[in-house]
């Protein structure tokens, strides 16, 4: 049996000293604004996994109203979601992700991001893919007011 999950996340951008994307910090003159570390990619992956297994979503497991989640490392949230999915009898087959950001360029950081995601999920790096799209200088992404991510995941029992 196979199931597909879709995850999406968006965060506002503000002045800062780097972005956390896919569990790594990328030097940048902006930062994502959020209750946790605002890792837009790991949040999208977390929701994709939970959705595929019909186990809720990131907001249910880690509500932004809970002070314990303030500044939380998104990798710990992803690991907890992956553990729930595994406990329900599912195995991750692969995931395909997209980052939406005008800057910084993601391509130079893609190998490190893929390695980190695979490490957190306990899967082979080849099962993780990542690509990036700019906003073509249009809208919140293109004007560097926001960053977004989407992920599709395949799980099997």
Give pLDDT, residue 154. 98
Q: Is 34 exposed, middle or buried (0-12, 13-18, 19+ CB in 10 A)?
A: buried
- Closest to 40 (Cα-Cα) out of 77, 67, 65, 90: 77
pLDDT in tens, 7-21: 999 999 999 999 999
Token pair of 97, please?
Answer: 């992700």
Mean residue pLDDT across the chain: 96
Residue 21 in contact with residue 113, Cβ under 8 Å? yes
**Confidence class for position 95, pLDDT limits 50, 70, 90:** very high
In this predicted model, what pLDDT tens digit does every residue of 128-140 receive, in sequence order? 999 999 999 999 9
Lowest mean pLDDT among 47-51, 60-64, 91-95, 103-107: 60-64
pLDDT mean over 114-137: 97
Residue 144 has pLDDT above 80, yes or no: yes
Domain that includes residue 85, residue range: 2-156
Which CATH number fits the domain that encloses residue 12?
3.30.1330.50
Burial tier of 60 (Cβ tally within 10 Å: 0-12, 13-18, 19+): exposed
Domain tally for the chain? 1
Q: Place 92 in a pLDDT band, splitting at 50, 70 and 90.
A: very high
pTM attached to this predicted model: 0.96
| pLDDT tens-place string over residues 47-60 | 999 999 999 999 99
């Amino acid at each position: 049996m196979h199931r597909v999950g879709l995850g999406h996340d968006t965060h506002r951008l503000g002045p800062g000293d780097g972005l956390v994307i896919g569990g790594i910090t990328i030097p940048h003159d902006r930062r994502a604004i959020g209750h946790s570390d605002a890792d837009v990619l790991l949040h999208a992956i977390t929701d994709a996994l939970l959705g595929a297994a019909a186990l809720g979503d990131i907001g249910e497991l880690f509500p932004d109203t809970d002070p314990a989640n303030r500044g939380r490392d998104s990798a710990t949230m992803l690991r907890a979601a992956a553990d729930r999915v595994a406990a329900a009898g599912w195995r991750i087959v692969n995931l395909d992700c997209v980052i939406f950001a005008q800057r910084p360029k993601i391509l130079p950081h893609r190998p490190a991001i893929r390695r980190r995601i695979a490490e957190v999920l306990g899967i082979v790096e080849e099962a993780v893919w990542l690509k990036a799209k700019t906003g073509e200088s249009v809208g919140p992404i293109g004007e560097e007011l926001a960053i977004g991510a989407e992920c599709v995941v395949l799980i099997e029992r």
